[in-house]
Structure formats: structure tokens, C-alpha cells
Amino acid sequence: AAKESVHHTVQFYLDHVHQRVDAFRLEHDLQAALEKEEFVLEYQPRITVADGKVTGVEALVRWEHPERGRISPLEFIPIAEETGYILPLSSWIMEEAFSQWSKWKEDGMELQMAVNLSVRQIEEEQFIDRVEALLGKYQVPPASIEFEITESVLMYHLETSLQAVRELRRIGCRVALDDFGTGYSSLNYLKTIPADVVKIDRSFMKEIPDNAQDTAIVETIIRLASVLNMDVIAEGVETDRMLSFLKEQHCFGAQGYYISRPVPPQDIPELTQSTGQE
Ligand code: C2E
Ligand code: CA
Ligand code: CA
Ligand code: CA
């Protein structure tokens, strides 16, 4: 038994070392990944629930690692945030998304484009100037861009966030509260943050319409948003039943695997032409 336990301890230690080495390697590879053009953006369509039409997309970054294949943003965004590498990466993401917007516009599609924000990005003094410069460069109307800010960012950086939100809206962009309902004081953010859109976190959607509590919560968020004149978008819509529920509740928008997974940009035109879920 003692031998077993020593073995376990050693194994535990080795696992730990491997994880550290792993994170270190990723951090190292991240530095070169932009130049090597290993990042790509995918776009997840979202529909207006009332007519089932695709009216917008959310830009989501992916890392195509030459040896490891595709790495999830959940894995590399935190490392990029820690190392500060998120700054050049976020600039690239914005530029790529805006440039894609104008390509679609040339093809006659005017979509709402949602872009996720990182806290390091909004802390930068030149943030707003940069957004304005890029909007100008790609001739994107500010109202076509919706910046998503998560509740966890609001929770830890309320002052910075508030200022960024105000400035973004001053230049005409839209702002969405992302992962709504996951923070310590969601209702308070609804009151203090002048956002245009609320995105209901997908943890509330999982058991809709079977779970009575979740159902009541989602209904309430939808009504609250409507009273406050905000658009509400449900994330994580994975079934026909979820979408029917959202229709009954007059939810404004929906996004999730049932509608479409995130896809490469060339797949978007076809998805906007189909009549949706009718
Ligand atoms: P998020 O902003 O909440 O993005 C939605 C995530 O949910 C995406 O995962 C999407 O693929 C996934 N998703 C969409 N529909 C469904 C569904 O029906 N069911 C389930 N189970 N999942 C669904 P992804 O692309 O892995 O992104 C994860 C997170 O990484 C994002 O969460 C966001 O916080 C961060 N992220 C992604 N791209 C960017 C970016 O460009 N910049 C920044 N700062 N963060 C990003
Ligand atoms: Ca988001
Ligand atoms: Ca979200
Ligand atoms: Ca999330």
C-alpha cells in the first residue's frame, strides 16, 4: 500500500509538471502564432426569433496549431490574457471581423456583427480611437457592430467597463451583456450598464422547457429586457423545443447549435438565404 501511495504521489507530481510544461509551450507558441497566421475566425449565425431569419453573426476565434490541431479559445484566451498577448490578438480579431463585414456588404448582406471584448483591450487608452479608425478603414457603420462584454469582466472591472461601454455607444456601436445571469449582481448590471442587448447565458437554457425554475428565470429575463427596452438573445439553443419556447415568450433573438454551429465565413451566405426554422 505504501508503494502504491508513493507511486500515486509521483504520478500526481509528474501530471502537474506535464501540465505546467504544456501551458508553457502554448504560451511560447502563442507568441509566434499571429505572424504564422494560425488564427482564424468562425462565425455563428443568430436569428430573429419572430421570422427565423439570420440577421447577425458572432465572431469566434480559433487557433489552428500545426501539431496539436485546433485549440479552443477557452484554453488559449486565458493564457493570452495573462501574457498580454491578447492585445495584438484582439486587434487582429477586430480587423478581421470588420474586413469580413465589408466583404459581405459587397455581396449585398448587411449583418449585425458581434465581437467579444477582453478586459485588457478595454483598459487600453487608445481602445476607442482604434475602433473608430478600423470602422473608417473598412467603411463599417458603427451600429452594425455589437461588442460583447461578459458579466465576469463587469464583476471585476466595473469602472473600466462602464467607461468603455459609454464610449462605444457614443461612437454609435452597440453593446451586449454576455453570459447574462452568471454574475453576483446581474440585476444591478442591468441597471447600471447602458447596454443594447442582453445575452441569456446558455446554462439557463440547458433544461428549457422541462425545468420549472430555469423556465421562470428565462421568462423573467425576457420580460425585464423588454421593459428596459433592450433586445434579448438566448444562447445555447440546441433543440426545437427550446426555440418554440422562445417564440411563445417573444424572445427577440436566438443563437445555438440547433440554428447553426460556428462556421467559416464562406458558409454564411447560404445560411442567410434559407428561411430559417419555419
Ligand atoms: P461565448 O462568448 O459565450 O461564446 C459562445 C460559445 O458557446 C462558443 O464557444 C460557441 O461555440 C458555443 N456555443 C454556441 N452555441 C452553442 C450551443 O448550442 N451549445 C453549446 N454547448 N455551446 C454553444 P467557443 O467558440 O469555444 O468560445 C468560448 C469562449 O471563448 C467564448 O464564449 C468567449 O468567452 C471566448 N472567445 C471566443 N472568441 C473570442 C474572441 O474573439 N475574443 C475574446 N476576447 N474571447 C473570445
Ligand atoms: Ca460572446
Ligand atoms: Ca456567451
Ligand atoms: Ca460563455
Taking the centre of ligand 2 as the mean of its atom positions, its distance from the CA of residue 101, in whole angstroms, is: 17
Q: Which ligand is nearest to the CA of 256?
A: 1
> How many Cα atoms sit within 13 Å of 167 on the Cβ side?
17
User: Could you report the per-residue pLDDT of 54-102, keeping only the tens digit for each?
Assistant: 999 999 999 999 999 999 999 999 999 999 999 999 999 999 999 999 9
- The predicted model scores a pTM of 0.92
Question: Given the C-alpha cell 478595454, which residue does it identify?
Answer: 122
**Burial label, 255 (beta-carbon count in 10 A; 0-12, 13-18, 19+):** buried
CA 196 to chain centre: 15
pLDDT at 20 over 90: no
Residue 23 has pLDDT above 90, yes or no: no
Separation of alpha carbons 48 and 190, rounded Å: 22
The string of DSSP letters for the chain reads: -HHHHHHHHHHHHHHHHHHHHHHHHHHHHHHHHTTTT-EEEEEEEEEETTTTEEEEEEEEEEEEETTTEEE-HHHHHHHHHHHTTHHHHHHHHHHHHHHHHHHHHHTT---EEEEE--HHHHHSTTHHHHHHHHHHHTT--GGGEEEEEEHHHHHH-HHHHHHHHHHHHHTT-EEEEEEET-SS-HHHHHHHS--SEEEE-GGGTTTTTT-HHHHHHHHHHHHHHHHTT-EEEE----SHHHHHHHHHTT-SEE-STTT---B-GGGHHHHHHS-TT-
The closest ligand to the CA of 59 turns out to be 1
**Residues 231-252, mean pLDDT to the nearest whole number:** 98
Is the pLDDT score of 1 beyond 70?
no
Strands 69-71 and 53-65: antiparallel
* Reported confidence tier of residue 276, pLDDT bands at 50, 70, 90: very low
Distance 76 CA to ligand 3 centre (A): 17
pLDDT band at residue 228 under the 50/70/90 scheme: very high
User: Which class for 278: exposed (0-12), middle (13-18), buried (19 or more C-beta within 10 A)?
Assistant: exposed
* Cα 123 to averaged position of ligand 3 atoms, centre (Å): 21
| Closest C-alpha among 118, 173, 183 to residue 142 | 173
Q: Is 135 in the pocket of ligand 1 (CB under 6 A)?
A: no
pLDDT level of residue 181 (50, 70, 90 thresholds):
very high
pLDDT at residue 8, as a whole number:
80
107-166 residue pLDDT tens = 999 999 999 999 999 999 999 999 999 999 999 999 999 999 999 999 999 999 999 999
Ligand 1 and 72: CB distance under 6 A: yes
Name the nearest CA neighbour of 203 among 225, 236, 238, 244: 236
Cβ–Cβ contacts within 10 Å for residue 18, how many? Answer: 10
Residue having the nearest C-alpha atom to atom 22 of ligand 1:
236
181 lines ligand 1 (CB under 6 A): no
Query: Does 203 contact ligand 1 (Cβ within 6 A)?
Result: no
ipTM of the complex: 0.96
